[in-house]
Amino acid sequence: MRVSLSLGSSLAKYLFKKKFLSKERFPLVLMLEVTHLCNLACEGCGRIREYKETMREMLSVEECIQAVDECPAPVVTVTGGEPLMHPEIDKIISAIIEKKRHIYLCTNGILLADAIKKLKPNKYFNINIHIDGLTKTHDAIAGKGVFERAINGIREAKRAGFKVCTNTTIYKNTSEKEIEELFSFLDGLGVDGMLVSPGFSFEHNENEVFLCRTEIQERFGFIYGTSKKYKILNSPLYLKFLKGERSLKCTPWGNPTRNYSGWKSPCYLITDTHYKTFAECMKNTDWDKYQEGKDPRCENCMMHCGFEPTVVLQGGKRLSDIIEMAKWSFS
């Protein structure tokens, strides 16, 4: 199965409750940026530029717990920066698990082999390691020797019994041949799934390595085909959107972001302001402003944080979609 029974059950119960209460807007994934401090300066990262003034600040364990209490999302992505640089990351993870929220710890993997000594495998806990290509490509983006250290982290985490998935950003120079070879290599390591995202320009991060919409459609047409062979965790409906076969509208409130500056509005990529509480963010953000054709910053966006929530919320409207999602889930 691509989605665990535990996560699938939690999502189903949560969605049923929200639909029963006729809630129009509600979060699916809380993006919890515990720190923006990082031990790398990757080519495609905008956080180290946007938050350079507060780079060394960190959310306390208490602030993290409060964020989880404020935002009812069943999934919490613990990210950064590099979250393993937070000195109390083990306490943060344990506290979230106690609340029975599903965690994806997003890390570059460099510190993972040592960090897992303070962590325990749990059905609510997933480790997500960023791998942007094979050795030459990944090291060109993240730094010399990073690929080998990240792969060692994957091996050690799997050996210790943790659930491990990977996240790969596809850039302009990423060939279909390398994508296929990378998926095959990661599959051979026994990873529990692979997430794939297009690399494209956004606020605070414009770079010639990013893809234009036509290039995204070409690359993800190929990736959609490989998703039947490898355990790609992106939903097939989102992949169809990326390859130009489906039209989806963004759900910007689906993945709210909490960091040291507050609740980021309107979304993970765009920052117009920060709110003190989650409730204020949901109430005061003019969500209708942020769609393709309305805000120029949204024009070329196809980011999973805005469009995968749309798939979840609208996936049951067509019988063909229900069948495809069911086949994908159990494959």
Q: Give percent of the chain above pLDDT 70.
A: 97
Mean confidence (pLDDT) of the chain:
92
Mean per-residue pLDDT for 200-213? 67
HSE value, Cβ hemisphere, 13 Å, CA-based, for 271: 17
pTM of the model: 0.94
Q: H or E stretch including 18?
A: helix 5-20
SS3 106: strand
Pairing of strands 257-259, 75-79: unpaired
| CATH code of residue 263 | 3.20.20.70
Tell the burial category of 214 from Cβ atoms under 10 Å away from its Cβ (0-12, 13-18, 19+): exposed
Q: Which residue has the higher pLDDT, 32 or 202?
A: 32
Mean per-residue pLDDT for 17-46? 90
pLDDT at 53 over 90: no
Q: What's the rounded Cα separation, in Å, for the pair 292 and 18?
A: 26
Tokens 């494209």: give the residue.
200
Q: H or E stretch including 129?
A: strand 125-130
pLDDT at 315 over 90: no
Neighbours of 327 (CB within 10 A): 11
pLDDT, tens only, 97-138: 999 999 999 999 999 999 999 999 999 999 999 999 999 999
pLDDT at 16 over 60: yes
State the DSSP code for 211: P
Q: What's the rounded Cα separation, in Å, for the pair 279 and 221?
A: 39
Tokens 């790609």: give the residue.
232
- Provide the pLDDT for residue 203: 54
- Provide the pLDDT for residue 96: 98
Burial 239-269 (b: 16+ CB within 10 A, else e): bbbbbeebebebbbbbbbbbbbbbbbbbbbb
Quote the domain boundaries for residue 289: 5-330
State the DSSP code for 170: E
**Total domain count, the chain:** 1
- Provide the pLDDT for residue 234: 95
pLDDT, tens only, 227-277: 989 999 999 999 999 999 999 999 999 999 999 999 999 999 899 999 999
Neighbours of 108 (CB within 10 A): 27
Binning pLDDT at 50, 70 and 90, where does residue 316 land? low
